[in-house]
Structure 1
Amino acid sequence: MIPFLDLSAQYRVIGSEIEEAVLRTLRTGTYVLGEAVEQFERDFAAYCGTSHAVAVSSGTSALHLALLAAGVGPGDEVLTVPMTFVATVAAILYAGATPVFVDVDPDTWTMDPAKVEEALTLRTKAILPVHLHGRLPDMHALGAIARRHGLTVIEDAAQAHGAQRDGLRAGAWGNMGCFSFYPGKNLGACGEGGAVTTNDPHAADMIRSLRDWGQSGKYNHVRHGFNYRMEAVQGAVLNVKLRYLDGWNATRRSICQQYQEGLAPDLGRPEAIGDDHACHVYALRTTGRDVLQARLRDAGIATNLHYPVPVHLQPAYRGLGYREADFPVSEALARTMLSLPLFAELPVRDVDHVIATVNRLVLAEETSIPLPLLGARPYHEGALQA
C-alpha cells in the first residue's frame, strides 16, 4: 500500500536526533515552556523573518490568541473563507466575533481579493486568509485592502511553513501569522503545537500572557487567560525538525511538479507550483472523485479529502446563516478535490505508480468539459461515475 502520509519514514531518518533532543530536555526537569521552547521561538521567528514567535499549544490556540491580541471580540466581524478546516472559523467564534465568508479565487483556491471589499461592513475588524494546501494568497492585494480600511490581517499559515513570495515568508505578511505543528504538517511536532509570528512587540507580549493564564509575572494575573502553553518536549522536537524544513519542502515541490507534469492534462490540477507554495497538499480535481478514491484504494494507493464539506455547510456551523450555492467555487472544489500521497520520503517510483494508476483509471473515460466555475483549466466531467 502506498500511504498518503508516512511519518515513520521521517522518523527513520532523524529519529536519533529527536530522541537525543527529547532526552536532553527531559533531564532538565522543565516540561512546559522553558529553554527548548524559547530556543524554538527564536529560531522560528528568524526563519519566518519576524521579530517574534510565540509558541502555543496548537494551531487553533494560535488563531484564538492572535484574534484576541488584535482586539477582536463581540460585535466584530472577521472575513475568512469557507474552504478551510473548521478550526479557522471556530477560533473566530471563540473570540466572540462573527465569521463572514468570502469565496476563494478560481485559480489559486485561496481568498479572492475581489470578493473581500464586497463583504466589508462597519463591523469588519480583521481579514483572516487561509494559505490552503500551503499556497500564499495574493497578500499584496489583501494587505492593500486592509490598509485602506484600517483592518488587521491574520494569516492562517497552518499549512504553509516556509512558503515565500517576494522575499517574505508565510507568517511575515500579515500583522500576525498563525501556524500549526500538528504531526502531519510540513513542520510537525510529536503531538500538538502552534505558534504566532509577528513584528508587533505589544501583540507578542499579549499572546505570551494569554497563553499562560493571563499572567504578567508569576501569580500576577492581569487579564483572563488560557492554558495554551507549549510543552518543552515539542519545542525540542521542533528545534530538530526546523533544520530540515527547507530540504523537505524542496522535495515536496519536486513531487508536486512530478504530479503536475505526469497527470493527464484533462484532470483539474492546481496552478503552477513555486516557492509561494509549501506543497502541504497536492489535490487533483475530478467529478468522479469518490469513485476514483475507492478504486485507488483497491489498487493499493491511499488518498485523502481536504475538505469535502466547506465550513458554511457543516452541520455545526449552519447557524451562521449561509446556504448551499452561496460560495460556488468553494463548493465545487469540495465536491471534486482528491489529495494524492505527498511526503518528503515518498519514493519517485511510487509517485510514478500513482500517476500511471490515476491516468489509467480516469482516462478510461472519454469525456471532459471546461470548469465553468474555476476558470479555463479543465477537469474530468463524468469520469468514473458509480
Structure 2
Amino acid sequence: MISPTRSTERSTEESETEPPVPFFTQAGTFTECWPDISRHLNGLFDRGKFSHGKQVALLEKALAEYTGARHVVAVNSGTDALVLLLRACGIEPGDEVVVPAFSFVASASSVALARGKPVFADIDPETYALDPASAEAAVTPRTRAIMPVHLFWQLADMDALGALAGRHGLKVVEDSAEAIGMRWNGVHAGRLGHGGVLSFFPTKTLGALGDAGAVLTDDPEIAERVAILRHHGRMGRTVDHIAGISNLSGASGTNSKMDDIQASVLLGKLPRLDAAIACRAELAAAYTERLRDVPGVLRLPTVARRGPGTEPVFYVYVIEVERRDQLVDHLTRAGVGTEVYYPTPLHLQPCFAGLGHRRGDFPHAEAACERTVALPFHPDLALTEVERVCDTVRRFYTGAAA
C-alpha cells in the first residue's frame, strides 16, 4: 500500500517566525482524499495497464456525468486538448482563430500548433474574457473560429459570443481549462459551443499529480476525431483511421493518451469537488470582505450579472492594485506567495512578434497585465492565513510596512 507522509516538525528558526503562506498547496487535500486515491491506484497496479486503460474510461464517464457532456475524451494535458479540439473542428493551415490577448500562452499557441493563425482581440475589463465587440472587429474572411477563454472565476459572455459566431458562421472552441464547475444558464462550460477543454494541472480546481486534460463536446463526430487523433490516428491497436475521417485527411495523429495514474488521482478527488468549490467560495468572500476598503486595491473580483443558473467558481483570487510589482515584493518578503496572471499580454509576446502588434493595440489586456496579482488560494488555506495576507496588503498601502 502506498502511503503519503507529511512532516509536522519545524526547525527552531521556523518556529520563532510565522510560517510562510504558500500560493498553492494540496497536502491537506491529498491526506483527506488518499484512501479513495489509493483504492483506485491499487486496482490499477493489480491490472498492470497504466495508460489508456480502465481508469481513464471510468474518469471519462464520471466527468460526462458531472458536466452533462455527451462525450468526454481524456488526453495528457489541457494544451493538447485545445490542439486536438481545434483540429477536430476542421482548422486547416492559415485558418484564423480569434483569441483574447489576455490569457495563458497555450490559448494562442494551440492555434499555431493546430496549423492555424491566432488573431488577437481585447478583453472585457470586468470579466477578463474575450470582448464581443473587439472579437467581431477581428473577424476577417479567413476567420474560422473564436476561442472564448473562461478566466479565474467566471465565464465569458457566451450569449454575445455565440451570436457573433452565428452571424459569421464560425466555430466556437471554448478554452474552459480553468472552468470545471462553472455553468451558463445551467449548462457546464465547454458545452456552450462546438466543444471545450478541461485542464487537470495540479493547481486547477480539480488537479492531478501532473499534466492531464480532457475534451468536452456534445458532437459525436468531434469526439470521434479527438479520440482518433490522441492515439496516433488509431481507434484500435494497429489501424490508422485518419485518412478516412472528414477534415482530417492527410493529417497524422499524436500520442496524447492520459495516464491511468492521473485518472486514478482524479477519480479519488472528483467526489469532493463540489465541497472544494464551496470552500473556495467561502475563501473568496473572506478575501473580499477584508480587502474591500484597502487603499491601493483598485478592483476586487466581481461576478457579471447573467441569467439564472449561471455559476462562478473561484479557481484563483485575482485583484487589481496600484504598484503591483512593489506589492509582490512586499508580500514575498513577508512569506506570502503570489502569482501574476499574466505579466505580458499575448500580442506582445516574442513568439507572436511576427503578427506585428504594438503596445496600445489592446489596452484592457495590457492594463490587466500591469495591475493584476493572484493571492494565495486553495482549499487547504485557513481563514487565519487569509487574515494575514490581507493585513500584509493593508500595511503596504497604509504606509505601515517596515
Question: What's 1:240 paired with?
Answer: 268
Q: Is the 1:134–1:157 contact (alpha carbons within 8 Å) kept by the matching residues of 2?
A: no
1:218 maps onto 2:237 in alignment: yes
CA distance change for structure 1 residues 273 and 355 in 2, over 3 Å: closer, same or farther? farther
Question: What's 2:279 paired with?
Answer: 251
- After TM superposition, list the pairs within 5 Å mapping 1:305-384 onto structure 2: 305-364=340-399
Alpha-carbon RMSD across the aligned residues, in angstroms, is: 1.5
Question: What's 1:70 paired with?
Answer: 89
Q: Which amino acid aligns with 1:312?
A: H
Q: Which runs of 5+ in 1 are unaligned?
A: 366-383
Q: Is the 1:124–1:151 contact (alpha carbons within 8 Å) kept by the matching residues of 2?
A: yes
Q: Deviations over 1:164-205 (max 9, x none)?
A: 131111122121011111111111111110000000000001
Question: What's 1:156 paired with?
Answer: 175
- After TM superposition, list the pairs within 5 Å mapping 1:262-281 onto structure 2: 262-265=290-293, 266=295, 267=297, 268-272=299-303, 276-281=311-316
Question: What's 1:373 paired with?
Answer: none
For residues 379 and 80 of structure 2, the distance between their equivalents in structure 1, rounded to whole angstroms, comes to 27
Q: Is the 1:136–1:170 contact (alpha carbons within 8 Å) kept by the matching residues of 2?
A: yes
Q: Which amino acid aligns with 1:242?
A: L
Question: What's 1:87 paired with?
Answer: 106
Question: What's 2:248 paired with?
Answer: none
Give the C-alpha shift of residue 146 in structure 1.
1.1
For residues 216 and 4 of structure 1, the distance between their equivalents in structure 2, rounded to whole angstroms, comes to 41
Q: Is the 2:165–2:172 contact (alpha carbons within 8 Å) kept by the matching residues of 1?
A: yes
For residues 383 and 304 of structure 2, the distance between their equivalents in structure 1, rounded to whole angstroms, comes to 18
Q: Which amino acid aligns with 2:68?
A: G
Q: Which amino acid aligns with 1:12?
A: T
For residues 238 and 138 of structure 1, the distance between their equivalents in structure 2, rounded to whole angstroms, comes to 29
Give the C-alpha shift of residue 20 in structure 1.
2.2
Question: What's 2:17 paired with?
Answer: none
Give the C-alpha shift of residue 240 in structure 1.
1.4
Give the C-alpha shift of residue 322 in structure 1.
1.2
For residues 388 and 292 of structure 2, the distance between their equivalents in structure 1, rounded to whole angstroms, comes to 14
Q: Is the 1:249–1:279 contact (alpha carbons within 8 Å) kept by the matching residues of 2?
A: yes
SS in 2 for 1:3: coil
For residues 118 and 22 of structure 2, the distance between their equivalents in structure 1, rounded to whole angstroms, comes to 35
SS in 2 for 1:33: coil
Q: Deviations over 1:255-303 (max 9, x none)?
A: 1111112104351212138963221111111131111111111112111
For residues 142 and 390 of structure 2, the distance between their equivalents in structure 1, rounded to whole angstroms, comes to 48
SS in 1 for 2:57: helix
Q: Deviations over 1:199-231 (max 9, x none)?
A: 000000110000000013321112210000001
For residues 16 and 36 of structure 1, the distance between their equivalents in structure 2, rounded to whole angstroms, comes to 16
Give the C-alpha shift of residue 22 in structure 1.
1.2
For residues 337 and 155 of structure 1, the distance between their equivalents in structure 2, rounded to whole angstroms, comes to 23
1:124 maps onto 2:159 in alignment: no
For residues 304 and 55 of structure 2, the distance between their equivalents in structure 1, rounded to whole angstroms, comes to 34
SS in 2 for 1:79: strand
SS in 2 for 1:73: coil
Identity %: 39
For residues 106 and 23 of structure 1, the distance between their equivalents in structure 2, rounded to whole angstroms, comes to 47
Question: What's 2:67 paired with?
Answer: 48
SS in 2 for 1:235: helix
- After TM superposition, list the pairs within 5 Å mapping 1:283-322 onto structure 2: 283-322=318-357
For residues 88 and 9 of structure 1, the distance between their equivalents in structure 2, rounded to whole angstroms, comes to 31
Q: Is the 1:70–1:203 contact (alpha carbons within 8 Å) kept by the matching residues of 2?
A: yes
Give the C-alpha shift of residue 233 in structure 1.
1.1
Q: Which amino acid aligns with 2:255?
A: N
Partner residue of 2:207 out of 185, 188, 195: 188
Q: Deviations over 1:326-384 (max 9, x none)?
A: 1110111101111100001211111112112211211339xxxxxxxxxxxxxxxxxx9
Q: Deviations over 1:292-319 (max 9, x none)?
A: 1111111121111111111111122212
Give the C-alpha shift of residue 33 in structure 1.
1.0
1:2 maps onto 2:30 in alignment: no
For residues 399 and 304 of structure 2, the distance between their equivalents in structure 1, rounded to whole angstroms, comes to 27
Question: What's 1:376 paired with?
Answer: none
For residues 23 and 258 of structure 2, the distance between their equivalents in structure 1, rounded to whole angstroms, comes to 28
Once structures 1 and 2 are overlaid, which stretch shifts more, 313-322 or 42-51? 313-322
Once structures 1 and 2 are overlaid, which stretch shifts more, 22-31 or 265-274? 265-274
Q: Which amino acid aligns with 2:399?
A: A
Give the C-alpha shift of residue 153 in structure 1.
0.7
For residues 87 and 202 of structure 1, the distance between their equivalents in structure 2, rounded to whole angstroms, comes to 24
SS in 2 for 1:244: helix
For residues 93 and 78 of structure 2, the distance between their equivalents in structure 1, rounded to whole angstroms, comes to 22
Q: Is the 1:305–1:337 contact (alpha carbons within 8 Å) kept by the matching residues of 2?
A: yes
SS in 2 for 1:134: coil
For residues 9 and 361 of structure 1, the distance between their equivalents in structure 2, rounded to whole angstroms, comes to 30
1:142 maps onto 2:193 in alignment: no
SS in 1 for 2:152: helix
